[in-house]
């Protein structure tokens, strides 16, 4: 089953605009995933928000995934929703540790990035207030990294 | 209580006075609510009129540790919450008792994870454990009856210095509650060495793609 038409337009527009900066475009069960190079991370999101055919005006989630054996071990992932067009998209990129913040595009990225920093230790460059949000402030380590012991350090 | 220790032997008068004091205390325990997770809902059911477990034992919910005799910890205790519970416990006046309600408060239950305290008794002395997930109100009532038995068997003016008493527990500073930071953590070098071992193992198996982390 083909993906919905408005999303096809979005993917086409992204490919036209970003070209080589798109590493891959996946489609699985009507869900579209676009993987960008980290250099265009903010620019791509701003385009997705402000372009009238994309119109992703809501950030659902920003999170990460850890692949410890890779050189750039973290995938940073955002889920976007367009309330007007009723379509969703998933954006990925990968990084070793640093990635620019999306706070300038969506204000909700503030806490989502703090959570991602808290649990994965990814530094969001330019974030206004990058502190731990869930764990205690003196916590050491980042629990959702794959090399953190799954049971933690017992007390 | 320190003035009385070892001064009185068992006699008709001292045992009577003791039982009188204990009787007064066991019939009017004021519990402090600490519903830390879902067992807290069950604790509310216990307090309301359908089961009416608490008031029939003369217990009245208090919301200040300074007015309470019994701390009821109902629910999962996270490591972030642990210093708070310890601080609240330290604010209660003697004699004080602790009931751990639910499997999580007792042992961490299924949450053997980085964020959950593996048992309330790691930070405060626990007098009664009420197991269950969550425990039914009848179990809760049974736990309270057990606590009354604990109080009834207490020696107050006949106290011997050797007897264990919650008041004799060594006090630790609230801020000394062990957090991961107080335990030697593996350093980045340890992680890297660990990963190197893994990578070497996988390389020998021929599973590794190029460009993996080696530093």
* First and final C-alpha spacing in chain B: 62
Q: What is the mean pLDDT of residues A41-54?
A: 88
Which residue intervals of chain B are DSSP H helices? 12-26, 39-47, 82-91, 103-107, 137-152, 188-205
Phi, psi of B142 (to 5 degrees): -65, -40
At B185-205, the pLDDT tens digits run: 455 666 667 666 665 655 554
The two tokens of residue B151 are 């109080």
Q: What are phi and psi of A127, to 5 degrees?
A: -70, 135
Q: Is the pLDDT of residue A136 over 80?
A: yes
**Chain A partners of B177 at a C-beta cutoff of 8 Å?**
155
Q: What does DSSP assign to residue A79?
A: E
- Provide the pLDDT confidence category of residue A36 given band limits of 50, 70 and 90: very high
pLDDT (average), residues B9-15: 83
* Spatial separation of the C-alpha atoms in residues B49 and B89, rounded to whole Å: 28
Strands A31-36 and A22-28: antiparallel
- Cβ distance B181 to A73 less than 8 Å, yes or no, reads no
Predicted ipTM beyond 0.85: no
Average pLDDT over residues B117-137: 88
> Residue B207: is its pLDDT beyond 70?
no
- Give the SS3 label for residue A129: coil
Is residue A152 predicted with pLDDT exceeding 60?
yes
* More reliable by pLDDT, B207 or B10: B10
What local confidence, expressed as pLDDT, does residue B171 receive? Answer: 44
Please tell me which residue, A33 or A155, carries the higher pLDDT value. Answer: A33
Measure A145 CA to nearest chain B CA, in Å.
Answer: 11
Least confident of A3-17, A48-62, B113-127, B161-175: B161-175
Q: Which of B82, B79, B84, B72 is nearest to B42 (CA)?
A: B72
Residues of chain B positioned with their CB less than 8 A from the CB of A70: 211-213
Query: Per-residue pLDDT for A26 more than 90?
Result: no
Q: How far is B84 from chain A (nearest CA, A)?
A: 12
A152 and B191 in contact by Cβ < 8 A?
Answer: no
**Torsion angle of C-alpha atoms B155, B157, B158, B164, degrees rounded to 10:** 50
| All domains in chain A, ordered by first residue | 5-125 (3.30.460.80)
pLDDT on residue B33: 84
- As a whole number, mean pLDDT of residues B97-119 equals 88
* Beta bridge pairs of residue B70: B31, B97
A139 contacts B179? CB cut-off 8 A: yes
Chain-centroid distance of CA B3 in Å reads: 29
Phi-psi region of A29 (alpha: psi -120 to 50; beta: other; left: phi over 0): left
Res B185: pLDDT: 45
pLDDT at B176 over 70: no
**With bands split at pLDDT 50, 70 and 90, how would you rate the model's confidence at B119?**
confident
CA distance B152 to B144: 12
Residue entry with tokens 């913040």: A101
pLDDT at B98: 92
Nearest 5°: CA angle at B107, between B114 and B94?
Answer: 110
pLDDT confidence bin for B162, thresholds 50/70/90: low
Mean pLDDT within B116-136? 88
**Per the CB < 8 Å rule, is B185 touching A141?**
yes
Pairing of strands B31-35, B70-74: parallel
Q: Which of A70, A149, A152 is opposite residue B115, by nearest beta carbon?
A: A152
Contact B79 A136 (CB under 8 A): yes
Question: In terms of C-beta density within 10 A (0-12 exposed, 13-18 middle, 19 or more buried), how is residue B35 classed?
Answer: middle
B181 pLDDT above the threshold of 70: no
The strand pair at A74-82 and A87-95 is best described as antiparallel
Which CATH architecture best describes the domain B12-174? 3-Layer(aba) Sandwich (3.40)
Question: Which residue of A lies nearest to B180 if distances are taken between CA atoms?
Answer: A153
Interface probe with A: pick from B81, B124, B180, B184, most Cβ of A within 10 Å: B180
| Alpha carbon A82 to chain centroid, angstroms | 16
Asked whether the bond before B134 is cis by omega within 30 degrees of 0, the reply is yes
Q: What is the DSSP letter of A147?
A: T
Q: How many CB atoms lie within 10 A of CB A154?
A: 15
Q: In Å, how far are A36, A74, A145, B140, B199 from B203, measured between CA atoms? A: 29, 21, 22, 56, 6
Using the beta-carbon criterion (under 8 Å), do A147 and B211 form an inter-chain contact? no
**pLDDT over 90 (residue B120):** no
B37-91, pLDDT tens digit by residue?
Answer: 899 898 888 888 888 888 888 888 888 889 898 999 999 998 888 888 888 888 8
Task: Give percent of chain B above pLDDT 90.
Answer: 12
Q: Are B101 and B135 in contact (CB under 8 A)?
A: yes
Report whether pLDDT(A76) > 90.
yes
CB distance A155–B79 less than 8 Å? yes
Which of A68, A138, A152 comes nearest B181 by C-beta? Answer: A138
The pLDDT value given to residue B191:
61
pLDDT of residue B87: 86
Residues B113, A151: C-beta atoms closer than 8 Å: yes
């Amino acid at each position: 089953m083909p993906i919905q038409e408005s999303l096809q337009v979005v993917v086409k527009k992204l490919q036209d605009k970003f070209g080589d900066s798109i590493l891959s475009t996946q489609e699985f069960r009507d869900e579209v995933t676009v993987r960008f190079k980290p250099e265009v991370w903010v620019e791509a999101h701003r385009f997705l928000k402000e372009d009238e055919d994309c119109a992703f005006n809501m950030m659902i989630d920003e999170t990460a995934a850890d692949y410890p054996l890779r050189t750039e071990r973290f995938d940073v992932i955002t889920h976007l929703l367009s309330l007007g067009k009723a379509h969703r998209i998933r954006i990925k990129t990968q990084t070793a540790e640093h990635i620019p913040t999306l706070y300038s595009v969506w204000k909700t990225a503030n806490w989502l990035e703090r959570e991602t920093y808290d649990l994965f230790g990814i530094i969001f460059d330019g974030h206004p207030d990058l502190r731990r949000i869930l764990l205690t402030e003196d916590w050491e380590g980042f629990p959702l990294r794959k090399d953190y012991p799954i049971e933690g350090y017992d007390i | 209580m320190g003035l009385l220790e070892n001064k009185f032997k068992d006699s008709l008068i001292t045992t009577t006075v003791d039982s009188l004091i204990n009787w007064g205390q066991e019939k009017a325990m004021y519990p402090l609510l600490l519903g830390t997770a879902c067992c807290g809902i069950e604790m509310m059911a216990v307090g309301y009129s359908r089961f009416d477990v608490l008031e029939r034992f003369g217990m009245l919910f208090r919301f200040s540790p300074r007015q309470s005799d019994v701390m009821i910890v109902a629910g999962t205790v996270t490591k972030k919450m642990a210093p708070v519970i310890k601080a609240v416990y330290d604010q209660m006046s003697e004699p004080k008792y602790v009931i751990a309600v639910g499997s999580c408060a007792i042992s961490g239950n299924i949450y053997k994870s980085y964020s959950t305290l593996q048992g309330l008794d790691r930070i405060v002395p626990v007098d009664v454990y009420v197991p269950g997930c969550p425990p039914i109100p009848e179990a809760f009532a049974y736990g309270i009856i057990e606590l009354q038995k604990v109080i009834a068997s207490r020696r107050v003016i006949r106290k011997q210095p050797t007897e264990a008493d919650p008041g004799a527990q060594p006090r630790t500073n609230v801020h000394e509650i062990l957090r991961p930071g107080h335990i030697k953590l593996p350093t980045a070098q340890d992680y890297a060495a660990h990963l190197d071992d893994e990578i070497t193992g996988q390389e020998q198996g021929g599973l590794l793609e190029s460009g993996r982390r080696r530093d």
